[in-house]
Structure 1
Amino acid sequence: MLRVVPVVALLALWVWAFIDCLVTPEDEVRHLPKVVWVIVVLFFPLVGSIAWLVAGRDRTGARRGRVPWPSGPTAGYPEYERPKRPLAPDDDPEFLASLKRGNEQHEDMLKQWEADLRRREEELRRDGGHPEDGDRPGA
């Protein structure tokens, strides 16, 4: 019985390290390509498993911006880890900025039209009448 415990522990460590190596995303694997880690763990059960646990996986979570073992009521739910978007358009600063830019463009266009209208009215006053006056009978 005493001889079976180390064998079972080694087998459990090997299976756990092998499965962990298989399911770990490529961007969390360090020092060697993932395929090489799988081969090392598969062919060298004790040394490969310990090497994988010590040096193979990035357990800091720094690459993804997460803690390695999330805790709390939202642990394991990636939708809660995403940045929040405003719920309504009037809460969205980008949307409000686009409205302000649109309003400024419309105001500039109206100012140009008003200036053009004033210029045309001034030209008509200088010329002494309406251009349609020459087309009217009796004028």
Structure 2
Amino acid sequence: MLRILPPLLVLALWIWAFIDCLTTPEQEARHLPKVAWVIIVLLFPLVGSIAWLVAGRQRAARTAGGPSGARGGRPTAPDDDPEFLASLDKETPHKDARHHEDMLKRWEADLRRREEELRGRDEPEDGPRR
């Protein structure tokens, strides 16, 4: 059992480093191009994995407003981002508001028409009874 543990740990480290290397954006790879890191990790499982973890990837925590819009390395929801919410007001011109009002009026008219059709189907052929 104890003989199997070290190779399993090396295999787990190798797989994790390989996947991490593949999913890391090109601009976050340090010292070498990303392709070179992938080859190093593949050819030298233990040494390449350790080298990738130590020197290959930037590990600085991102702050809000960073390149990926992340806070502490985690994505920020749009409704939690004040810059995004402020940009919504800037992007919505007044003509869009008129367009939405016109669309709402068309929907209401269509709804009224459908309701009248349904009422007409429910009434008997010879007219409403009193």
TM-score for both structures, normalised by structure 1: 0.52
Aligned pair count? 86
CA contact (8 A) 1:18 1:49 kept: yes
1:39 maps to 39
CA deviation profile, 1:38-94 (whole Å, cap 9, x unmatched):
000000001100000011001104573755543xxxxx34645583224435xx9xx
CA contact (8 A) 1:14 1:45 kept: yes
1:22 maps to 22
Q: How far apart, in 2, do the equivalents of 1:78 and 1:28 lie?
A: 23
Per the TM alignment, residue 6 of structure 1 is displaced from its structure 2 partner at its CA by: 0.3
Matching residue's letter, 1:48: G
Q: How far apart, in 1, do the equivalents of 2:72 and 2:89 lie?
A: 33
1:9 maps to 9
Any unmatched runs of 5+ in structure 2? 94-130
SS in 2 for 1:8: helix
Any unmatched runs of 5+ in structure 1? 71-75, 96-139
Q: How far apart, in 2, do the equivalents of 1:82 and 1:32 lie?
A: 37
The structure whose Rg is larger is 1
Pick closer, same or farther for the CA change 1:78–1:18 going to 2, 3 Å. farther
Matching residue's letter, 2:12: A
SS in 2 for 1:88: helix
TM-score for both structures, normalised by structure 2: 0.55
1:55 maps to 55
Q: How far apart, in 1, do the equivalents of 2:70 and 2:55 lie?
A: 19
Q: CA-atom RMSD, angstroms? A: 2.8
Q: How far apart, in 2, do the equivalents of 1:77 and 1:8 lie?
A: 36
1:88 maps to 89
SS in 1 for 2:83: coil
